[in-house]
Structure 1
Amino acid sequence: MYKKVKIVSPVLLGLTLAITGCNTDIQDNQSEPKQEQIQKEAQITRLQSLNAMTIQMTFSEPLSEEEVNIDNLEKIKKNFEFNNDMSIVNVPRLKIGAKSTYIVPVTIQKPGTTYTVSYKDGEKQSFEASDEKINIRQTRQVTNDTFEIESFIEDGVTDYANIIEAYRAGRGNLAFQVDDENKDENGKQYQVISSLRDRVVTITTDKGEEIKANYVPFTQAADGRQAPKFRLPDGQTLNPGTKYTVTSDWAIIKNSSFTAKEFTPLTIESAEAIDNKSFQITLDKDPGMELFAGRKVELRGDDGSNIEAQYRFSSRKGPVGIFDVLNEKTLQSGVKYAVVPMGNWATPDTVTLTTK
């Protein structure tokens, strides 16, 4: 007996395979993922160690705004993987006229050390530590607890504020362009002072006592000068008649000593509320330099409240500086506050502030 053979037409067979998913060609074509455009990460293509605290890096493409935003500093630090305990101390800053070359401030390099660095897990680059220190012409006392060290353009030293794109608009005729070797259009060579964030210097008395003084933020290129301020630890003051010598692991100071003298504190003339979180203080005269920086006052309300406020960096206009209330507190309407300088940086303590 012959078995009946069921014949399936080619058309019906193709339809059946398609429905059941057995047509591998069709299945493979349908399962292919769409190609997505993957953004290529910038990578370091060249680097130069300019001095003990500064590296110049060129990337394959410009860094994004997020990769240079100061508000993202802690995250940005993790993008750079160094060996030998090195790290960046502030965000990379694009040089004027450059496409993707940045000034990058780093922790102090150890002479004789070979460092490696990669960006976002990219290829490692190596460089030898620089033992070059910045040439500083002089130092001088500016208040009872603060002194400055000053360098000059004519000595072939420039603050990075003058040569980076981020500060170009605010620097006026101080801004200029240098090439990859940090020479200007006339071929003059410059040392570059990068960000002084978290930098310290040592001040030594004529009796050998050493004190670490911390950089006062936003003073390194203020008032058109290259004269960053350094302040003694809270509560300490310079002793009149004592000779002090300033040294640093990132600078050579030519005239490095001064004899301390008594300075008259700044005089507060008035205080006026701006809103419930800030107010302005007016001195009796323009101090001529950034002496508000880092200063605090205590507001003692006639309702028994106590509020601390701190100077808003770079807000000074002549004798007027803006202070912001701290610790999420607010100025209360109708309360009269006595403005009391913290740390004896100003007098008197009889100026009052009344909010509307």
Structure 2
Amino acid sequence: MNNKIKMIAPILLGVTLTLTGCNLFNKQAEPELVQTLHETQKEGQSAPQITALQPLNVMTLQVTFSEPLPEEDTVIENLDAIKSNFNFDNNLSIVNIPRLKIGAKSTYLVPVTIQNPGTTYSLSYKGGEKQTFKGSDEKINASQTKQVTNDTFEIESFKKEGVTDYSNIIEAYKAARGDLSFQVNDENKDEKGKQYQIISSLRDRVVTLTANNGEEMKANYVLFTQAADGRQAPKFRLPEGQTLKPGMKYIVTSDWATIKNPTFVATQIPPLTIKSVEPIDSKSFQITLDKDPGMELFAGRSVQLQADDGKTIQANYRYTSRKGATGIFDVKDATLKPGVKYKVLPINNWATANNVTLLAK
């Protein structure tokens, strides 16, 4: 047999492979051949194309593709790479991963940085054909704001008023949300024809807090609080070291929401109380409060662990780990030393911990 055998790959691939010095029936050559075919096929596949694009509000796009996005473009660990796959102009970018809507084949909610109303933007996915759209001027209709701790407040909206958090209408959270989940069509109407505004991911969102003495402060969204405990009441927190002043009246404004009742008068709210701390392993432990704080008030909090020799270690709350009054904290850039007793010191006075210690395993 000639030592050069030409084999035509399937027409779908549209390539010709040359096998040199091997027998087509040589079993040892088969894995390499199959791998080459798979790699060639993968390279020949085109990325999904955008077939429809609609701005829903100043921070949310609804994008339909010719086929579902690959899994790697829908997981949070790949967010930086995903951002580079969605190519916008005019300084627009995505802020969190695309989320497939319940019942949809390839229609996703895509949270973006704030659009400039009327500006023409273009978007392409993985270098594909560009689609253009006009920046929206629609803001979310929020209902009210309320203080929840000495450095944190919430902005609440209601489904009954035609506003829904995105977690209620995406496939990824369908099972976890239970009765809160429902399906909307491409126009974001439910089966009864009710229209909904959609709060997309609030990751990296900021609001402005203005006191009646003219002082302005920025408050940052606290991760995983926008739909905690079945409420649409995302939390916003002042920078570390800043607190609300009791008796002071504040007004909350933002570039993504219009708040019907945007003011509140700050009061002195007692900090949470740490009841006990138990080790889990060399990198984590659980904190139990004297009562269930609700509303993910553990979120974004940290504690300092101080050993008898004065050395300290910082630990941060593990998001969404709360079960009732107990939440898990993970040690940052260190490990707990077995047998060492650590004094627990909440950072920024979010809680009290009178004589509470952790004995490491």
Shared fold per TM-score greater than 0.5 = yes
Match 1:341 to one of 336, 346, 359: 346
Tell me the distance in 2 between the aligned counterparts of 1:28 and 1:99: 37
Match 2:337 to one of 295, 311, 332: 332
Moved more, 278-287 or 344-353: 344-353
Report Cα offsets for 1:122-160 as digits up to 9, x if no partner. Answer: 000000111000000000000000000000000000000
Tell me the distance in 1 between the aligned counterparts of 2:159 and 2:247: 32
5+ long unaligned stretches in structure 1: 1-17
Tell me the distance in 2 between the aligned counterparts of 1:27 and 1:219: 61
Tell me the distance in 1 between the aligned counterparts of 2:185 and 2:6: 58
**SS in structure 1 at match of 2:141:** strand
1:148-187 to 2 correspondences below 5 Å: 148-187=154-193
* 1:292 lines up with 2:275 in the alignment: no
Alignment CA distance shift 1:298-1:59 (3 Å): same
Equivalenced residue count is 333
1:229-248 to 2 correspondences below 5 Å: 229-248=235-254
Match 2:112 to one of 106, 118, 136: 106
Tell me the distance in 2 between the aligned counterparts of 1:341 and 1:155: 38
Q: Match of 2:272?
A: 266
Match 1:55 to one of 61, 67, 92: 61
Instruction: Spell out structure 1 runs of 4+ moving beyond 4 A.
Output: 26-29
Contact kept in structure 2, 1:278 and 1:323, CA below 8 Å: yes
What letter is aligned with 1:203? L
Q: Which has the larger radius of gyration?
A: 1
* 1:323 lines up with 2:297 in the alignment: no
5+ long unaligned stretches in structure 2: 9-14, 18-36
Tell me the distance in 2 between the aligned counterparts of 1:169 and 1:355: 36
* 1:33 lines up with 2:16 in the alignment: yes
Match 2:281 to one of 248, 271, 275: 275
What letter is aligned with 1:340? L
Shift of 1:28: 12
Contact kept in structure 2, 1:338 and 1:349, CA below 8 Å: no
**SS in structure 1 at match of 2:16:** coil
Report Cα offsets for 1:79-117 as digits up to 9, x if no partner. Answer: 011110000000100001000000000000001201111
Report Cα offsets for 1:166-208 as digits up to 9, x if no partner. Answer: 1111101001110000000110000000000000000100122
Shift of 1:228: 0.3
Alignment CA distance shift 1:304-1:132 (3 Å): same
Contact kept in structure 1, 2:6 and 2:16, CA below 8 Å: no
Q: Match of 1:14?
A: none
**SS in structure 2 at match of 1:343:** helix
What letter is aligned with 2:16? P
Tell me the distance in 2 between the aligned counterparts of 1:28 and 1:214: 61
Contact kept in structure 2, 1:296 and 1:309, CA below 8 Å: yes
Identity %: 69
Q: Match of 1:353?
A: 358
Report Cα offsets for 1:284-321 as digits up to 9, x if no partner. Answer: 01112211110000001124331100000011111101
Contact kept in structure 2, 1:340 and 1:350, CA below 8 Å: no
Tell me the distance in 2 between the aligned counterparts of 1:276 and 1:303: 19
* 1:204 lines up with 2:210 in the alignment: yes
**SS in structure 2 at match of 1:109:** coil
CA RMSD of aligned residues (A): 1.9
